[in-house]
Amino acid sequence: MLQLQKQVTAVIKEYNLFRANDTVLLGVSGGPDSVALLSLIFDANCINPTCSSIFIAHLNHLIRGKESEEDAQFVSDLAKKFKLSIVSERRDINEIARERKMSLEEAAREERYKFLENAAKKVGANVIAVGHNADDNAETILHRIIRGTGIVGLGGMRPKRKLTPFSSINLVRPLLFTWRKDIIAYLKEKNLSYRVDSTNFETDQFRNRIRAELIPLLEKNYNSKIKKSLVKLSETATQNYDLLEAQAKDLFEEVLLNIEGETDEILSEIVLDIHKLKEVPQILQQLIIKEAIVRLKIPLKKLGYKNYKDILSILNCRNAPVSNVVKDYLNVKIEGGKLHLSKMKYYVEEGPVLNETVIKIPGETKLVETKYIVKMDIREIENGFLEGFKRSRTKYDEAVDFDKISVPLMIRTRRSGDKFWPLGSPGIQKVKDFFINNKIPMLERDTVPIVTMYDQPIWIVGFRIDDRIRITKETRRLLIMKLEVTA
Q: What is the DSSP letter of 180?
A: H
| pLDDT for res 172 | 97
State residue 130 phi and psi, 5-degree precision. -125, 165
| pLDDT for res 86 | 96
Q: What is the DSSP letter of 475?
A: -
Q: What is the DSSP letter of 408?
A: P
159/182 Cα distance (integer angstroms): 18
76/59 Cα distance (integer angstroms): 11
- Top-level class of domain 3-223: alpha beta
The single-letter code of the amino acid at 18 is: F
Q: Using an 8 Å Cβ cutoff, are 25 and 116 in contact?
A: yes
The arrangement of secondary structure in 238-350, i.e. its CATH architecture, is: Up-down Bundle (1.20)
Query: What residues have CB less than 8 Å from 248, skipping those under 6 apart?
Result: 284, 287, 288, 290, 291
Query: What residues have CB less than 8 Å from 91, skipping those under 6 apart?
Result: 59, 60, 61, 62, 111, 115
Q: Residue ranges of the chain with pLDDT lower than 50?
A: 1, 262-263, 345-352
| pLDDT for res 442 | 65
| pLDDT for res 193 | 95
Overall fold of domain 357-485: Phenylalanyl-tRNA Synthetase; Chain B, domain 3 (3.50.40)
246/296 Cα distance (integer angstroms): 19
Identify the sign of the CA torsion 328, 330, 331, 333: negative
Closest CA to 483 of 470, 466, 465, 468: 465
The single-letter code of the amino acid at 263 is: T
Which residue(s) pair with 128 in the sheet? 25, 171
Q: Angle at the Cα of 54 (from 51 to 57), degrees rounded to 5? A: 140
| pLDDT for res 318 | 57
Closest CA to 271 of 330, 223, 317, 333: 333
Closest CA to 75 of 109, 128, 29: 29
Q: Using an 8 Å Cβ cutoff, are 385 and 376 in contact?
A: no
Q: What is the DSSP letter of 165?
A: T
Q: List pLDDT tens digits, range 436-486.
A: 888 776 657 777 899 999 999 999 999 999 999 999 989 989 999 999 876
| pLDDT for res 350 | 38
Q: What is the DSSP letter of 466?
A: B
| pTM beyond 0.75 | no
State residue 139 phi and psi, 5-degree precision. -65, -40
Helix then strand then coil, in percent of the chain rounded to 5, is 45, 20, 35
| pLDDT for res 230 | 96
Q: Where are the domains of the chain?
A: 3-223, 238-350, 357-485
The H-assigned helical ranges of 256-330 are 274-277, 282-295, 305-313
